[in-house]
Chain A
């Protein structure tokens, strides 16, 4: 809704108005006087519950000073107030630096004193703008104000660089969020639009755009009230896609540093915070992680095993997973194995339309063979080692071909199994990728398969069979070694481990048909051999334990 007057328009006009400095003469003084007045009123004993008495008196003063005459003046008033609150915070911080003996708590309280008053003023103006039932003006005003604060933040961030302080903005956002989520009827009716406005705000301030705000940002998106409202309170899971976008923003910021293992102290702390948020989500909202696992895995670098395991271990709460260590567990007898999981990411969109057309035609007719030989060049984007492939395209290709294969087998009246998945256009593609790709490409390809090994569902089962089939039919030991590597490296990390991953690995080492123990790479080095033995003991010796 970028159109004139929509909430998004209001936010962006707020952002651009934050850098207009051609204020009419005397406005700054007026704003300063009014803000000071309001801070005093807010903290006075006679303010009334929720400052309502003080507010009606104050609106009179705003009228008198001519602030409420035009939208432009109101906007400028908010911008000036934000700047003043920020200025006060910087001055308090400087005071602390000049005088380290000063009590930090009192200095912070000074900042809160002004910021909380300003936030209450915003909340009251939003609540009382327009008629009681007029939600449009309220939401427009909210977006406008959020836009102004965002604009001031971005400017401050760009100008002060390393001296930028998160505190004032952090406090404004979180306190305003809490004020607007109070249990009141007027606020309940606009709650979803309020949350949308905050999500847009947080998305604009994502860490790649405002890296100096990243810690406060993570606190904002992981605040218990925000998570509860976004994932639990909002009906029909309407908050889920917006929250997933914020997590993707976080992963995108972390990705290059995690991939390069450049983890200095600040990055480690942020990473730990990310793990904690994911643990909370895994415990409280596993269905959310299930539904968006694809989008998350698409942006998490391949070497972040545990981060990905947290996401892949999520399963619906009403489901009981059979213990993977049960002897003679018949996976194909489970009823859940025929049910497809929900994928709420549009993964086919990654594929170029011509490529998708050729792919569909190959899956249908199993020709021309040139499609297979050109696959590799379609996936490869550069010649730089470590950066050769379009990872998103590999992931999309693997999942798309797999889901098409499952549908194809179902159409033929049977279910996916070790025998039904073979000798098809779909398996041609997988086998070709396993043989034709170089080590880097194959690693990414096998990871794309392993990302589907989750709780009992049709994808888990299909890709588990595919992985084992690729192992059994491999024409080179290098492929088998890499399959083992991909599975093993996801299991030697700390818990949690996805169910389908364990099932697949146990099948591989237990089933004599795979002749797992006769391969050279199992015995290539004494420490590797020891590792396999301990994992095998862990996987098979559970009865004694």
Chain B
């Protein structure tokens, strides 16, 4: 059987441990408990049907993957997933596609045509 030595009596302490553990089980830690706060996209676990993708595709955490995403998707990731690796990868992908971030306007810019004036301080 699965219990070759037979069972041993559970002590009073162990009984108490069992009860406390059962109580703890009714409010298990939530995945977001050990993560930084997400302002916009909070984790919201719910049952999903088994024929849907339960996991993202492999290698979707590489810059190459991010470069295949649309600019809108990258902007979305950049503004809505602040302070994450995803934001870093999105910024990298945007930069590779010659977008530049303006730290005062907090926006991404791309050249529409060659600038009319280019100096060491600015371009226009």
Q: Which residues from chain A sit less than 8 Å from chain B, CB to CB?
A: 93, 105, 108-109, 112-113, 116, 157, 161-167, 170-171, 174-175, 207-208, 211-216, 219, 223, 253, 256-257, 259-262, 264-267, 269-270, 302-303, 384-387, 440, 443
Contacts and interface: CB of A to CB of B under 8 A. Distances in A.
B118 interface: no
B23 A161 contact: yes
A162 B19 contact: yes
Contacts of A270: 21
Interface stretch (B7-15, B55-63, B68-76): B7-15
A391 B46 CA distance: 46
24 contacts: A108-B32, A109-B37, A112-B32, A116-B37, A161-B23, A164-B23, A166-B29, A167-B29, A170-B29, A170-B33, A171-B33, A214-B21, A215-B28, A219-B33, A219-B34, A259-B3, A259-B8, A260-B3, A260-B10, A261-B2, A262-B10, A266-B24, A267-B21, A385-B6
B25 interface: yes
B98 interface: no
A139 B23 CA distance: 35
A166 B44 contact: no
A215 B29 contact: yes
Interface in B24-82: 24-25, 27-30, 32-34, 36-37, 42-44
Contact of B17 (A109, A166, A208): A208
B114 interface: no
B30 A165 contact: no
Contacts of A214: 20-21, 24
Contacts of B20: 157, 161-162, 164, 211-212, 214
Contact of A215 (B7, B10, B17, B25): B25
A406 B94 CA distance: 64
Given A166-B24, A167-B29, A211-B24, A386 B5 contact: yes
Interface band, chain B: 20 to 34
Given A112-B37, A164-B23, A170-B29, A440 B5 contact: yes
Contacts of B4: 302-303, 443
B108 interface: no
B100 interface: no
Closest 3 pairs (CB-CB, A-B)? A266-B25, A162-B23, A386-B6
Contact of A211 (B17, B32, B43): B17
Contacts of B7: 259-262, 386
Given A266-B24, A303-B3, 12 more contacts: A109-B42, A112-B32, A162-B20, A165-B27, A211-B16, A215-B29, A253-B17, A257-B18, A264-B22, A266-B22, A302-B4, A303-B4
Contacts of B22: 264, 266
A302 B6 CA distance: 11
A207 B33 CA distance: 19
A443 B2 CA distance: 14
Contacts of B25: 215, 265-266, 269
Contact of A256 (B14, B28, B30, B44): B14
B28 to A, nearest CB: 5
A223 B33 CA distance: 12
Contacts of A167: 27, 29-30, 33
Contacts of B44: 105
A256 B3 contact: no
Nearest to A386: B6
Contacts of A165: 27
Nearest to A267: B21
B3 A261 contact: yes
Contacts of B24: 164, 166, 211-215, 266
A216 B29 contact: yes
User: Which residue, of B14, B28, B29, B43, has the highest number of chain A Cβ atoms within 10 A?
Assistant: B29
Contacts of B11: 256
Contacts of B10: 256, 260, 262
B30 A166 contact: no
A219 B18 contact: no
Contact of A266 (B14, B21, B30): B21
A502 B3 CA distance: 23
Nearest to A440: B5
Contacts of B33: 108, 167, 170-171, 174, 216, 219
A165 B29 CA distance: 9
A212 B8 contact: no
Contacts of A269: 25, 28
